[in-house]
Structure formats: structure tokens, C-alpha cells
Chain A
């Protein structure tokens, strides 16, 4: 209950601050109207949470294979469910930004858009496999294996491919974060951005804990009814 209030207040503060302060991009540098760049406060944390969920589910899959404890299977599944949600949201906000600056919602030569789409295909495959296996132990085992294979394929897609085909990408990374990885933002922008990042991460873990508790209670109830 306490966390609910904290996250609600924090999120509201981030949203208000994101729209009341100056845009993170100066009008002179921007491709479209400078106001469009406010989406950066939301899009980047969403994409970050989606990748966090992906990494979490891979870690829990490995732990499941080492221990065969069903607890880790539930955790991996929950992380994947939330990952889908945040990946869809990140994809939608990214498309809106693409439409406002580059003139089209979707562009197949844009590596980042394609990789988030592949990420969704991967999640689709994971859930399709889970629904096709009836036995819980086999299901947990095989979905852990496939999610490790998927994670390695995703590493190729996210880190290796964009480097080889970098000429295609229009995704703004240099404009916000320069090549050496140093963030070139003003103090206000930085404060809002990092509070948004923290709030989205907190939101993720809040929903995550709730889902784990629900899953645990459901399993307990099923045992009792047997």
C-alpha cells in the first residue's frame, strides 16, 4: 500500500515536470517540433524496463535449470509477461516519435524498430511453447531452455547487427548520449530523466511482486482443492 502511494506520487511528479519544463531538445537541433522530444522522458525508461525484464527472465531460466525449483519458473514467466507489456508500450511511443520526426510510423531499415519487433516475436514464441505443453515440469524445463537460446539470438540482433548495419539507423543516440557514453543533458533534464527511470523501474518491480504473490496464492489454492 505504501509503495502504491509512493509510485503514484512519483509518477505524477515526473509527468507534470516533463510537460512543464523546457523541452530536452533545443528547437535549432531538432528534426521536428522540439516538444516531440519530451517523449524521451518516457520512451527510454520503458525500453530500459523491457530489456531489464528480458535479462531477469534469462537469469531465472538459468537458475531454474540449475536448481529445478518451480519458484524460478514462475519468476521467469512473470518477468516475460511484464516484458511484453513494456515492449509494446515502448514500441508505440517509439513509433509516435518516428512519425513526428521522420514522417512514418514504421521503417524496416530502422534497426531499433526491427529489434523491438523481433523481441515481441520472441515473447510470442515463448508463450506459444508454454501453451503447447501440458505437463508443468516439462513446460518449465523446455521454456527455460528456449528462453536462453532466444536471449543469445537477441544479443546478436540488438548488439551485433546494428553495428554492422549502422548506416541505416536514424535512432537518436548521439543527440542525447554522445559517443563516449557521457550524457550531454542539462541538470533539469537529467533530474527528470533519472527520476522517470527510477519510477518506471519501481513500477515494474511493484507489479512484478504483486504478480508473484498472486501466482503463489493460485498455486497454493490449487494444491488445497486437490
Chain B
């Protein structure tokens, strides 16, 4: 059924495009994420930049910045729909899986913008250069895919609850922990001059995590979305 699959993709992209347009009007999520990342980065540069920390610590700090910055803005994708009352229209106009992948793609693009800003600043401020760029970029991309894949459904859950901001972090952390462990390991390898072969075990873990989490979330999404 080629026509059906084409329309599925274009509908998904339409959801993403709608989110991008509304994000450009308010710039709420991107402002929150970028400012949070800049503040954390500055604090870290001021406090440990002078101590010449080891590369292992730097790779952990890099992901701490990305993790907490993404926690400050990713939940907005669904909270905004519920607050402005547009969730119902979205529910009527397309299937759950389209909404899920559309929002996931939007969150991924948001994180991509964030890391395009943060990576150069991190390298300049903390004077660490990845020796293996493909491994580093691969780790960041796979990490961002996992981050957006696992947190999209949590954002949908949280949008139905009270105390949303705090709850989002509390629920995301245990889910994202395997991802963070693996991705910090790979980043360390890319900082300390290793190759793909040195990082094969965490890379396998990372790929398995991404695939399983995205599949599981898309399967469970309808239970959250259609209440």
C-alpha cells in the first residue's frame, strides 16, 4: 500500500511542521532549553574549567548538561496541547502513531538545535577535542534519538498530571539511565582516542536501547493518548 504509507509519512511531517511553526511563534521550549544549557555550561566552566578535569569527567559533564537542559523543555510538546485545548482536535484529526512520531521528530530536532549550539561552546570552554569525530557525532545522534524516543511518551503521560515539570524529570531519569551510561562511555572513548572497536559493547547497548524504547513507546502510546 504505497499511497497509504506516503500519506502516513506526510501526516507525520505535518504534525512536526505544525509544532515547529508554533514553536517559532512563542519560542518557549527552545528558549528554556538553550538558556538552561548555557547556564549549566557556564557554571561548569567556572567551577571545574580551571582544575583541568580528566576526559572521563568531561564526557559525563557533557551529558549532564544535555540531559538536564532537555528535561527543562521536552515536556512542552504535550503540555502546550493540553493547556491550549488543541489536544482534542489533534486526537480527532489523525492516528496516535502519527502524533507520536511527529512529536518525537520535533523533540529530536529541538535537541539537535541545542547540541549544535552546545557542542562548539563545550569544546571551546573546556578545551577538549574529540579525537574520533565520527564516533563522537554518532554517539550524540544516537543519544539524542534515544532521549527523544523515550521521553515523548513520558511527556504525554505528564501532560495529564499536576506538578508537571518535576514529575517529568523524576519519571525520565530511571528510564534514561541505561542510555546515559552507554553514551557517556562512548563519549569517553571518543575523547581519549579510542576507535569504534573500543566502544563496541556500549554501542550495541545504545542501539538496542533506541530500537526497543521507540518500539515500546509507539506501541503503548495509544493507551496514553486516547483516554
Interface residues of A (CB under 8 A from B): 65, 118, 121-122, 124-125, 128-129, 132-134, 137-138, 141-142, 144-146, 148-150, 152-154, 156-157, 160-161, 164
Residues of A within 8 A of B157 (CB): 129, 142, 145-146
Check A149 against B161 for contact (C-beta < 8 Å).
no
| Contacts A137-B227, A145-B153 given; does A161 touch B174 at CB 8 Å | no
Q: Which of A118, A133, A142, A160 contacts B174 (CB 8 A)?
A: A118
Q: Which residue of chain A is the closest to B157 with respect to CB atoms?
A: A142
Q: Is B50 an interface residue (CB 8 A)?
A: no
Check A132 against B202 for contact (C-beta < 8 Å).
no
Check B175 against A132 for contact (C-beta < 8 Å).
no
Residues of A within 8 A of B94 (CB): none
| Contacts A142-B224, A145-B223, A149-B220 given; does A132 touch B162 at CB 8 Å | yes
Check A141 against B227 for contact (C-beta < 8 Å).
yes
Q: Roughly how many angstroms separate A41 CA and B161 CA in the complex, as a whole number? A: 42
Q: Roughly how many angstroms separate A121 CA and B219 CA in the complex, as a whole number? A: 24
- Give chain B interface residues in 132-191, CB to chain A under 8 Å: 150, 153-154, 157, 160-163, 167, 170-171, 173-175, 177-178, 181
**Cβ distance A129 to chain B, nearest Cβ, rounded Å:** 6
**Cβ distance A111 to chain B, nearest Cβ, rounded Å:** 10
Q: Roughly how many angstroms separate A154 CA and B173 CA in the complex, as a whole number? A: 12
Check B227 against A152 for contact (C-beta < 8 Å).
no
**Cβ distance B162 to chain A, nearest Cβ, rounded Å:** 5
Interface residues of B (CB under 8 A from A): 150, 153-154, 157, 160-163, 167, 170-171, 173-175, 177-178, 181, 201-202, 205, 208-209, 212-213, 216-217, 220, 223-224, 227
Residues of B within 8 A of A161 (CB): 178, 181, 205
The B contact surface, by secondary structure, is helix
Residues of A within 8 A of B150 (CB): 149
| Contacts A121-B174, A148-B216 given; does A65 touch B153 at CB 8 Å | no
Check B160 against A138 for contact (C-beta < 8 Å).
yes
Residues of B within 8 A of A65 (CB): 223
Residues of A within 8 A of B202 (CB): 164
Q: Which residue of chain B is the closest to A126 with respect to CB atoms?
A: B171
Check B223 against A138 for contact (C-beta < 8 Å).
no
Q: Which of B170, B177, B178, B216 contacts A149 (CB 8 A)?
A: B216
**Cβ distance A141 to chain B, nearest Cβ, rounded Å:** 6
Residues of B within 8 A of A121 (CB): 173-174
Q: Which of A124, A137, A144 contacts B170 (CB 8 A)?
A: A124
Check A132 against B223 for contact (C-beta < 8 Å).
no
Check B161 against A132 for contact (C-beta < 8 Å).
yes
Q: Roughly how many angstroms separate A190 CA and B162 CA in the complex, as a whole number? A: 50
Check B162 against A152 for contact (C-beta < 8 Å).
no
Q: Roughly how many angstroms separate A160 CA and B175 CA in the complex, as a whole number? A: 14
Q: Roughly how many angstroms separate A124 CA and B174 CA in the complex, as a whole number? A: 10
Q: Roughly how many angstroms separate A157 CA and B175 CA in the complex, as a whole number? A: 10
**Cβ distance B139 to chain A, nearest Cβ, rounded Å:** 15
Check A157 against B178 for contact (C-beta < 8 Å).
yes
Q: Which of B174, B205, B223, B224 contacts A153 (CB 8 A)?
A: B174
Residues of B within 8 A of A160 (CB): 178, 205, 208
Residues of A within 8 A of B212 (CB): 152
Check B177 against A142 for contact (C-beta < 8 Å).
no
Residues of A within 8 A of B175 (CB): 149-150, 153
Name 20 A/B residue pairs within 8 A (Cβ), A-sorted: A65-B223, A118-B177, A121-B173, A122-B174, A125-B174, A128-B167, A129-B171, A133-B160, A133-B161, A141-B223, A145-B157, A145-B223, A148-B220, A149-B216, A149-B217, A150-B175, A152-B213, A156-B178, A156-B209, A164-B201
Q: Which of B163, B173, B208, B220 contacts A132 (CB 8 A)?
A: B163
Q: Roughly how many angstroms separate A105 CA and B209 CA in the complex, as a whole number? A: 31
Residues of B within 8 A of A145 (CB): 153, 157, 220, 223-224
